[in-house]
Structure 1
Amino acid sequence: MADNEMGGQNKKKKSVECCGYPLSIFFIVVNEFCERFSYYGMRAVLVLYFTYFLRWDENTAISIYHTFVALCYLTPIMGAIVADSWLGKFKTIVYLSIVYTIGQIVLAVSAIHDITDNDRDGVPDNLTLHVALSMVGLGLIAVGTGGIKPCVAAFGGDQFDDSQDKQRSTFFSIFYLSINAGSLLSTVITPILRAQDCGIYTQQKCYPLAFGVPAALMVVALIVFIVGSKMYIKVAPKGNIMLEVCKCIGFAVKNRFSHRSKQYPKRDHWMDWAEEKYEKLLIAQIKMVVKVLFLYIPLPMFWALFDQQGSRWTLQATTMDGDFGILVIQPDQMQMMNPILILIMVPIVDSVVYPLIKKCGLNFTSLKRMTVGMLMAGLAFAAAGVVQLQIDNTLPIFPTATQSQVKLLNMQNIAVQASIDQTPYSLPAFSATDEYLTTEQISVVVTQGLNNQNVGLFKTMRQTVLLFGDRVQTVNDSISKPNEGKNAIRFANGFNQGLNVSWSGQDLGQIPANGISQYTLVPQGKVVFSIKNAAGFECQMEKQLSFGSGYTYIIPSTFIIGDAECATSITMSTEILPNVIHMAWQLPQYFLMTAGEVVFSVTGLEFSYSQAPSNMKSVLQAGWLLTVAVGNIIVLIIAEAAQLPEKWAEYILFASLLVAVCIVFAIMAYYYKYEDPAEIEAQFAEKEPEDKDEKKKRGSRSSSSSSSSSSSHGGRVEVEDGEEVKQTKI
């Protein structure tokens, strides 16, 4: 692996070129596409995996999801230090990609299970093992994806020489396109893979396939990157500027509060206390960095809202109607709107919106743009709150902790008169009451003709009372919306013999005469149910199901199995109405959030790059990435502290907090003074020769000896040196 990377050689070899571009960048771009496909594809289905496979509640699933994302943006510190100070970028990418690949494979394996005959509810037998494997896999993925984040684009920039600035700029544009292309394709494909049915004993959602394909893409990414090894230019590690910055800041703080400092006059800036050991140029550069890092303090709140697209917004989509006519959108597929809108909006904003604002004579500075971006993200969450409020209004009202709900189902061939707590009901043959009766009593008296039956009730439960003339049977009903937008289906058999019901090859089991089956989750769309008796005679019933409904199909005693019109005698009782709020209502919130991202994120990267000293651009980009990690930690803190019972209230809370933080940021931005780092560096560079002899006597170390691997390649700003800025926050 490249003698010139670890051997201290600083001179670049000439790379193999094609059409004026280094051939090696092809391998780097393909590697990035596959890696981003792997990461975003896995992340797209992650919160649903937690909720529906590991069976965690929504709050736990959201907390673990955001903990994982936070780790992915904390680990770049490690990757940057290892690459710049020890292994070099190439070896760091290879070794951590291996860790990354193993993590993806472990996660895919964690989702594999075969449901036994005694385990037909879809829950794995050894759930603890699956949870443990999942956490190990996610931990390895966080180390891998975070560790290579500060290296890949910077390594691509190293492939160009000083005369190829134009080609380098084109490379970073292609590199950015490969990121968005990988993200877009993966958020379309992996939800489709997840939605497939696979399994041996019963049909299950195919999480092993949804995680397995990203794992395979990560293997491809690693192989492609290694294949190009002999073509790469591998620059020797030069030492990490972050470590130098930390030492300088540490010395300034220590010197400021030491007893010795009382012997010296006060200084204009706390960093000036480092002048006894460090050059004024380095100190001036750190001052510029600290000034911008202070401005970063409010920024994590934006990311706290932005990254909930993959958690809360995805879970919100599971309670909506995803039928768009020509295609059906899975809840986790709605995340594809973000990369689609980015690819559309970035060129429009750059070539149309900003020029129009400039023509109007408005001074739309970088910090003003970021303020507008934060406000738009707040509006996106307000819109999500409004959508959630409309969804809540359509949801069934389930019993509280002190209530029970009862429904009557007539299994007789004649109409009956019945009553519950003296409330009369008239039930035609093989029909059910339209609504549930809500009561706080522990039992109710069901009157059927001259017979009275005392029926015990369970608090917080919905129950259906089946009337069989001389007896009653009580069964428990669903007390929540079906998972993943599916439909909860069961059959009540009033026929005089046992029947077997199946659909799409999945067996619902034997339903005894005058009995009822358990609920089975059936996906949206056209479904053909097959009803057979012991003699093999069959009746097929075709139904068009929507999203999120709950039905009981009643097979009457007059049922003629094998008859061409047999399905017409089967009646239906509705326990849960289907989702009525269409998923298209999420489009405004995705549009507002993506518009906010384009104005906030792209501008923030440009601002950080423009305000950074020449050898510390990576430090500010590290600080920028750190705000993403902190934003995800904020989600955990607020979610645990607020504990709001209503989901719409959580959306409004986050929106309100972002608006409040935005006001603080606007005030900070108003007082911020833009600087020209090159001009400041030039001023101190002129004074530097005069002080050099004195600095040598004091053991000063020149800041120029610790330039970062990021140098000054224009497009590299979003990934250089990861999040090492964590060490510079004082």
Structure 2
Amino acid sequence: MNSMTSSMEIENKYPKGIPYIIGNELAERFSYYGMKTILVVFMTQYLMSQGKLDPMSDEDAKMWYHLFSMANYFFPIIGAIVSDILWGKYKTIILLSLVYCLGHLALALDESRIGLSIGLTLIAVGSGGIKPCVSAHVGDQFTSKNKHLLEKIFGLFYLSVNLGAMVSSLLTPILLNKYGPHIAFGLPGLIMIIATIVFFLGRKVFIAIPPVGWQQYKKDIFSKAGRKAVLNLSLMYVFIAVFWSLYDQTGSSWVLQAEKMDKTINLGFVKFELLASQIQAINPFLIIIYIPLFTYVIYPFFGKFFRVSPLMKIIAGMLIAGISFAIIAVAESRIASGASVSIGWQLAAYLILTAAEIMISITGLEFSYTQAPNSMKSFIMGLWLLSVSLGNLITAIVNSLLVSPDNPDGLLNFTGPEYFWFFAILMFVTGFVFVFYARRYKEESYIQSRDFEKLNPTLTENN
């Protein structure tokens, strides 16, 4: 009876390593989004060649932006494999964070295409490589006794991501405008160094799962459960990739559209004008509001009438994401007609797109972790992030095929609003098709389980 009671014991304390992971994530996301927020503006207005101003066209800048994003979300699968087989999560995060810092240094020192290429490559390797390890490392801190806290912690984790993103999205455009690229890219680099130090300080309290080695890894991936998880989730990620092809355009096509809008904000008691790249800060600001709103109000309300499953949330997110791009398409039509268009159109679209992000991104992250066998957590997180890479590849391909002054032989002649309508319709169709896939999906539930009487929670991986 006592052993049965012990096995069912519930703990409401958060693991000791969580503050270090959250602090690291907040600083790292400040670093990443601070750089990414100003990237398109830098490429179209500040890029140099042999000491002379040599900016890119809008189409080239969008293609570079999405190719970088694609690479940034491709490397997670590499980082996941290295972590699970060779280094473990802690060592992978520390070493690749140093590569990440070097990427920021290259961007801060060299304003040419060479500096841009080197910097973005190193950041893609570093940032991308640690992504699946950090999110899986969060889940590793929990056992069957406190796994009920996992949803709240993933929400807090996502909250830290967006707090860092919001502050940096407001700050680095001002730095770029007033002090130029050296300072604007240099500050995110400094913050990334701080992020690495914070994570290092938590090494003695982390619950760190050591690498399983190639033989065990191969056995788990090709086991019945492993094959099922990879196949089922990979199919789901193909659908979700279309969402990311829309979402990540908030840093490219939406910024370029904002350049043509009236960016004056009049609150009655105060009036000011935003920079085009600062508009992105509304997304993390809304995330901070939406996370508790959805967790404690919206989901529980609808849960009174029916089970709000993870896949149902994702379907709803896909459909309303399409609405956000329809709003952007209408705004672009008004711009094309010569009307003065307020930035309020984009703010309205952000209200909807951010709600879609809550329902797809946070839900997908948590759902992916629970569907992965224990030894494959990082690998599955890598597959999840690969969907973001695929989404950015879709956008990069579409932009590479557009007719433009630099590409007069392009295959797609989307002008203005047609471009945004294309993605809106693509998202609607994807959401409706995903309904049929979701109805056939059978959910699993995996969680790390450890016997703390036999296993020291601070393992040798991070010593």
The verdict on a shared fold, with TM-score over 0.5 as the criterion, is: yes
For 2:129, the equivalent position in structure 1 comes to 147
CA positional deviation for 1:353: 2.4
> How many Å apart are 1:626 and its aligned residue?
1.3
User: Conserved in 2, the CA contact under 8 Å of 1:289 and 1:619?
Assistant: no
* Residue in structure 1 matched with residue 243 of structure 2 by the alignment: 302
**Counterpart amino acid of residue 101 in structure 1:** C
**2:128 aligned partner, one-letter code:** G
Offset of residue 365 of structure 1? 3.8
Measure how far apart 1:595 and its partner are. Answer: 1.4
Q: CA deviation at 1:145?
A: 0.5
Q: Contact 1:310/1:335 (CA < 8 Å) preserved in 2?
A: yes
Distance in 1 (CA, whole Å) between partners of 2:59 and 2:227 is 41
Identity of aligned residues (%): 39
Shift of 1:137: 0.5
Which amino acid is the alignment partner of residue 148 of structure 1?
Answer: I
Q: Please give the alpha-carbon distance, in whole angstroms, between the structure 1 residues aligned to 2:234 and 2:374.
A: 16
**Residue identity opposite 1:293 in structure 2:** S
Deviations 1:382-416 (A, max 9, x none): 11011111112227xxxxxxxxxxxxxxxxxxxxx
Where 2:132 maps in the other structure, the secondary structure is coil
Q: Which amino acid in structure 2 is aligned with residue 140 of structure 1? A: L
Aligned to 1:366: 310
The answer as to whether partners of 1:293 and 1:620 remain within 8 angstroms in 2 is no
Q: For residues 133 and 173 of structure 1, do their structure 2 counterparts lie closer, same or farther at Cα, with a shift above 3 Å needed?
A: same
2:224 to 276, 283, 301: 283
Range that drifts further, 26-35 or 134-143 = 26-35
- The answer for the alignment partner of 1:393 in structure 2 is 337
Deviations 1:1-29 (A, max 9, x none): xxxxxxxxxxxxxxxxxx97666544333
Task: Tell me by how many angstroms 1:228 deviates.
Answer: 4.4
Question: Which has a greater percent of helix?
Answer: 2
**Post-superposition offset of 1:653:** 0.9
Higher relative CO (Cα under 8 Å, sequence separation at least 6) belongs to 2
- Are the equivalent residues in 1 in contact too, given 2:331–2:345 (CA < 8 A)? yes
Contact conserved, 2:159 with 2:291, CA < 8 A, in 1? no
The question of whether the paired residues in 1 share the 8 Å contact of 2:83 and 2:378 is answered with no
| Counterpart position of 1:724 | none
Q: Report the equivalent of 2:409.
A: none
Alignment counterpart, residue 658 of structure 1, candidates 423, 427, 441: 427
The answer for unaligned runs of 5 or more in structure 1 is 1-18, 112-129, 199-205, 249-281, 396-579, 679-709, 714-730
Does the CA-based 8 Å contact 2:143-2:448 persist in structure 1? Answer: no
Change (3 A) 1:378 1:173: closer
Quick one: structure 1 residues 82 and 338, their matched pair in 2 at CA, closer, same or farther if it must change by over 3 Å? same
State yes or no: 1:331 paired with 2:276. Answer: yes
- Which of 130-139 and 171-180 deviates more? 171-180
Query: Given the alignment of the two structures, is residue 39 of structure 1 paired with residue 32 of structure 2, yes or no?
Result: yes
DSSP 3-state at the match of 2:401:
helix
Counterpart amino acid of 2:286?
A: L
In structure 1, C-alpha distance between the alignment counterparts of 2:288 and 2:433, rounded to whole Å? 31
Q: Report the equivalent of 2:23.
A: 30
Greater radius of gyration (CA)? 1
Number of equivalenced pairs: 418
- Residue 195 of structure 2 aligns to a residue in which SS? helix
The 3-state SS of whatever aligns with 1:150 is helix
Distance in 1, Cα, partners of 2:195 & 2:312: 39
CA shift in 2, pair 1:615/1:97, >3 Å: closer
Q: 1:221 aligns with which of 170, 195, 211?
A: 195
- The answer to whether the aligner puts 1:51 opposite 2:51 as a matched pair is no
Distance 1:289-1:157 versus aligned 2 partners, 3 A rule? closer
Give the aligned CA root-mean-square deviation in angstroms.
Answer: 2.8
Query: What one-letter code is carried by the residue in structure 2 that aligns with 1:30?
Result: G
Q: 1:608 to 1:158 in 2, by over 3 A?
A: closer
Give the 3 Å change call, closer, same or farther, for CA 236–645 of structure 1 in structure 2: closer
Could you tell me whether the CA contact under 8 Å between 1:289 and 1:613 is conserved in 2?
A: no
Q: Distance in 1 between matches of 2:299 and 2:118?
A: 46
Output the CA distance in 2 between the equivalents of 1:647 and 1:628.
25
Higher strand share: 1
Aligned pairs for 1:162-201 within 5 A: 172-196=154-178, 198=179
> C-alpha distance in 2, partners of 1:319/1:226?
44
Letter in 2 for 1:384: I
Aligned to 2:69: 69
Instruction: Identify the residue that residue 456 of structure 2 maps to in structure 1.
Output: none
Rounded Cα–Cα distance in structure 2 between residues aligned with 1:158 and 1:617: 9
Give matches, 1:394-473, under 5 Å: 394=338
CA distance in 2, matches of 1:167, 1:366: 17
Per-residue CA distance 1:11-59 (angstroms, 9 max, x = gap): xxxxxxxx97666544333222111100011000001111111210001
Does structure 2 retain, via aligned residues, the 8 Å contact 1:614–1:677?
no
When normalised by structure 2's length, the TM-score is: 0.82
